[in-house]
Amino acid sequence: MTKAAFRDHLGRPIVAVTGMGVVTSLGQGLADNWAALTGGVSGIHAITRFPVDGLNTRISGMVDFVDVPVENPVERSYAYARETTDEALAQAGLSGDFGGPLFLAAPPIEPDWRDRFALADRAAPSQRPGDAYDRFLAVLRENPSPALHEAWAFGSISERLSDRYGTRGLPVTLSTACASGATAIQLGVEAIRQGRTDRALTVGTDGSVTAEALIRFALLSALSTQNDPPQKASKPFSKDRDGFVIAEGAATLVLESLESAVARGARVLGILKGCGEKADHFHRTRSSPDGGPAIATIRAALEDAGIDEVGYINAHGTSTPENDKMEYLSMSAVFGEKLPAIPVSSNKSMIGHTLTAAGAVEAVFSIQTMLTGTLPPTINYQNPDPAIVLDVVPNVKRDAAVTAVLSNSFGFGGQNASLVMTAEPA
Amino acid sequence: MAKAKNDVVITGVGIVTCQGVGKEAHVALLGADGAPALRIDTERFAPYPVHPMPEIDWSQQIPKRGDQRQMENWQRLGVFTAGLALDDAGLKDDMEACGTMDMIVAAGGGERDIAVDSLIVDEGLKRNDRERLLNEKLTTELRPTLFLAQLSNLLAGNISIVHKVTGSSRTFMGEEAAGISAVETAFHRIRAGQSTHTLVGSALVAERQDVIMLYEAIGAHATGGWTPLWSRDDTAGGGIVTGTAAAFLVLESRQHAEARGAHVYATIDAIGGDRGARDDGKLEARLDRLAEGFAADPQKTVVLSGASGLHGLTAREKAWAENRFAGAALRGFSAVTGQALEAQFPLGLALAALALGDGLEVPAFDPAAEGAMSAPAETAVVTTVGHGRGEGLAILSAEK
């Protein structure tokens, strides 16, 4: 290949994906996940990790099969990220120090209730209402706990990953809410395009489903309450959708400049062709009714990629009444009369909403869609929303050769990010 | 250094510390004849001394009461200070500029409801079905809006809502390192032409028991009365005195700034961050690498050290800085503002920008340990060594 073949339409280094790893409620590893996802299998199940008495939502897409030394969201988020990164680096054929930066999308984890109860057990009795933190602090003054510091610090997961994989420099831990996974990838793409590195490790992980997390989202009326049967609750683009199903998971993508990937003989799985983002100032949890920021985000991603058509859209498709309507509106505005001919499916119909990890998980599945020529379906599509006219790849996978995919991620706080991925240039 | 179109320049400074609100108060202290008056609260969070929030009229930057009510003080402070930076850059009501402005915020988490947490753990002491108790109490006691006030990325989200900054919105987490990475990332994006103008910053409300608890988990917070940063009482807690503070900067490419005739405070010449084990001189070796670009006249250099006050680490940083920047004026700004966690590094850059912008001779903050400056500052070095991990360093130069 000539040097020019390693540059994109704007003269920037082309960014290749050379390794992928994924964990969701469907299983561990890309092979198992892909078999289940294309088989139309749901990973949504009844919550068993904590009691659900009195809760309106009692189902989730938790990952219950990865061992953790201590039961808390930090350990879970770390463990999932470790598993997917091991898998991705193995696929990329990389061992030893990674030697590039780490961009980690991780949930903003509050201290765990077990820790608060344990501190209260060790503390002096209450002297007045509302003095628990005085007592916690008194306990810690006497007996500091580095383990608690690590559990409470937001930088601890990336610290452990940096040590384990020998990444370079200061790792970035980020949150753009439900767009975080896509933002981590975008940061990796930007770093390679800046010429500061030949490779970047991009990870999205979320093991933060606890009673408090569930209740907080429930109080915002964001979650499905269609508990029975669990597998039927997540029904993106359906008329009777009533909220997302909270879930866990992780994904890692090894990004490399195409030039460096080819030079070392790595297999190129796909190209991270374009990224777009645009923030929304309309409301803390709701999107602009005109879809303006989401439209701008998709357009920015396509423009960054230098293309105006895609063969498949991996939708954000959360199954909330609002998201699916807004996402449809924005896709319609961008693709116009071509939209009905573009298959659009939502992985969340099967894995639920993996929150911080979602953008990364769905990027992995987007690349895999191109590699295998199989479109994963949107399951539970029995009662289409008449206001959303889409080819959602209803209920059953479909064979289709696709060379360009758009993946959308939208989140609370006006967060919007879209990625465009293309097949490896033959 | 020759000027270049893609130089990263600071054109807006928003700053709030215990010393006051906005740049005037801070330019005054950076150009004063002596160290500023100590502002410390040793009562409210006793035994922990904290540098308190100054009096703030939120409505100056957050005009809608409804917006104010949706936030707690951490988000309010960040949104307020971001507004100061936009105002200072002359971009506050420029819808076009704000609509294309990128944003990176370094954030922790928002205020927990201490009363509800207390209620639950106290009830839990009487019951053995604590998980069921949690469901009962959280379902009935949590305020839905408090979730949004706690969410890390909702500081940025509220800046978008209140100030209409919507080019992009990214939130970095992870204590001091988040503040370092935020500025570092903004810097490299502008250098590479990926952004033309970026709002970057952070806020910390130290007057929170849930914040103090992070430090105290490793016995890092000072107790008792305030003692000087460089000679902190090592029998009274771990040495760190936290401070409520916020700093936001408008960074632009020189080309973008000049095209609109913006006032340039300073240029960021170099910036970097790193991490790793700190034993056996490894910390100092990393700091040496981060400072490799420094080649300025030490007589005209102020080193704004973000040393936290933590016993041991603070002395190491001082020894390293006095050696590496021999002849330069060392200023430990935590002595004046307190340590501000995620906001520490942006705060150091804000102080540096103000000192360079006005060519100030920055007075010793701790006259027993810091010498006087003999010439106006033309170069500033900003350091932050995280209390648990992560280090960052920036080199800035005055506009000539």
- Both A129 and A255 in one domain: the answer is no
**What is the C-alpha separation between A204 and A326, in angstroms, rounded?**
24
Taking only Cα atoms into account, the Rg of chain B, rounded to an integer number of angstroms, comes to 21
Q: Which of A51, A116, A154 sits opposite B132 (nearest CB)?
A: A51
Please state, in angstroms and as integers, the Cα–Cα distance from residue A226 to each residue in A26, A139, A230, A235, B222, following that order.
20, 43, 7, 10, 51
Coil/strand/helix, residue A357: helix
**Mean pLDDT throughout B143-165?**
94
CA distance B337 to B315: 19
Q: Specify the pLDDT at position B2.
A: 86
Q: Which amino acid is at A176?
A: T
Would you place residue B1 in the very low, low, confident or very high pLDDT band (cuts 50, 70, 90)? Answer: low
Exposed / middle / buried, residue B255 (Cβ in 10 Å: 0-12, 13-18, 19+): middle
The ipTM assigned to this model is 0.98
- My answer on whether omega of the bond before B47 falls inside 30° of 0, hence cis, is yes
Please report the pLDDT score of residue A3 as a whole number: 79
User: Are A255 and A121 found together in one domain?
Assistant: no
A-B contacts (CB, under 8 Å): 253
A-chain CB neighbours of B180 within 8 Å are: 170
DSSP string, A311-347: SEEE------HHHHHHHHHHHHHHHGGGGGGSBEE-T
User: What is the pLDDT averaged over residues B141-158?
Assistant: 92
B174 interaction partners in chain A (CB closer than 8 Å): 153-155, 158, 171-173
Q: What is the pLDDT of residue A2?
A: 72
Nearest by CB to B169, from A121, A170, A414: name it. Answer: A414
DSSP B346-360: HHHHHHHHHHHHTT-
- When the pLDDT of each residue in chain B is averaged and rounded to a whole number, the result is 97
Min Cα–Cα distance to chain B from A34, Å: 30
Domain shared by A174 and A322, yes or no: yes
How high is the pLDDT of residue B214? 98
Placement of tokens 């009905």 in the chain = A340
| Most distant CA pair in chain B, distance | 70
Is residue A329 located within the same domain as residue A360?
A: yes
Cis previous bond, A229, omega within 30: yes
Residue A72 sits in the same domain as residue A215: yes
A100 and A119 belong to one structural domain = no
Alpha helices, H only, A232-273: 258-263
Chain B residue numbers touching A116 (CB-CB < 8 A): 117, 120-121
Q: Choose, from A45, A281, A283, A316, the residue flagged as catalytic.
A: A316
B377 to chain A, minimum CA–CA distance in Å?
A: 29
Q: Which residue has the tokens 């020019």?
A: A4
Predicted local distance difference test score (pLDDT) of residue B23: 98
Is A281 an active-site residue?
no
Q: Which of B216, B221, B274 to mutate to test the interface with A (most CBs of A within 10 A)?
A: B216
Instruction: Verify that A418 and A364 share a domain, yes or no.
Output: yes
**Which of A113, A155, A175 lies at the smallest CB-CB distance from B177?**
A155
Return the closest-CA partner of residue A276 out of A408, A100, A368. Answer: A408
Q: Given A131, A146, A155, which is nearest B218 (Cβ)?
A: A146
Residues from chain B that touch A278, judged by Cβ atoms under 8 A, are 166-168
Please write the tens of the pLDDT for every residue from B163-186. Answer: 999 999 999 999 999 999 999 999
How would you write the pLDDT of chain A (426 residues) with one tens digit per residue?
677 899 999 999 999 999 999 999 999 999 999 999 999 999 999 999 999 999 999 999 999 999 999 999 999 999 999 999 999 999 999 999 999 999 999 999 989 999 999 999 999 999 999 999 999 999 999 999 999 999 999 999 999 999 999 999 999 999 999 999 999 999 999 999 999 999 999 999 999 999 999 999 999 999 999 999 999 999 999 999 999 999 999 999 999 999 999 999 999 999 999 999 999 999 999 999 999 999 999 999 999 999 999 999 999 999 999 999 999 999 999 999 999 999 999 999 999 999 999 999 999 999 999 999 999 999 999 999 999 999 999 999 999 999 999 999 999 999 999 999 999 874
CATH number, domain of A411, equals 3.40.47.10
The CATH class, in words, for B9-110+151-398 is alpha beta
Q: Say which residue the tokens 């090894």 belong to.
A: A254
| Active site annotation includes A283 | no
Tell me the residue range of the domain where A140 lies.
115-149
- The C-alpha of A372 sits at a distance from chain B's nearest C-alpha, in angstroms, of 33
A9 lies in the same domain as A93: yes
- B254 band by pLDDT with thresholds 50, 70 and 90: very high
Cβ atoms of A272 and A12 within 8 Å: the answer is no
Task: Give ∠ CA A80-B132-A144 in degrees, rounded to 5.
Answer: 60
Contact A245, A61 (CB under 8 A): yes
Structure tokens at A164: 């384990």
Residue A355's φ and ψ, nearest 5 degrees, are 55, -115
Left (φ > 0), alpha (ψ -120 to 50) or beta: where does A373 sit? left
What are A175's strand-pairing partners? B171
The chain B residue lying nearest A277, using CA atoms, is B168
Q: Would you say B213 and A133 are in contact if contact means Cβ atoms under 8 Å apart?
A: yes
In single-letter form, the type of residue at position A257 comes to S
- For A70-212, where are the E strands, in sequence order? 102-105, 172-175, 199-206
Minimal Cβ distance to B275: which of A113, A162, A278: A162
Given a contact cutoff of 8 angstroms between Cβ atoms, the answer to whether B150 and B111 are in contact is yes
Q: How many domains, chain A?
A: 2
Please tell me whether residues A210 and A145 are part of one structural domain. no
Q: Do B216 and A141 touch (CB under 8 A)?
A: yes
Q: Are residues A303 and A180 in the same domain?
A: yes
Domain boundaries, chain B: 9-110+151-398, 114-145
Give B7 to chain A, closest Cα distance, Å.
Answer: 15
- In single-letter form, the type of residue at position A236 comes to P
Residue A129 shares a structural domain with residue A203: no
pLDDT at A117: 97
Q: Is A9 annotated in the active site?
A: no
Residue A120 shares a structural domain with residue A263: no
Which of A126, A157, A281 should one mutate to test binding to chain B, selecting the residue with the greatest count of B CBs within 10 A?
A281
Query: Distance (Å) from the C-alpha of residue A405 to the closest C-alpha of chain B?
Result: 22
Those residues whose C-beta lies under 8 Å from the C-beta of residue A364, and which sit 6 or more positions away, are A20, A21, A22, A30, A251, A253
Beta bridge partners of residue B87, listed in sequence order? none
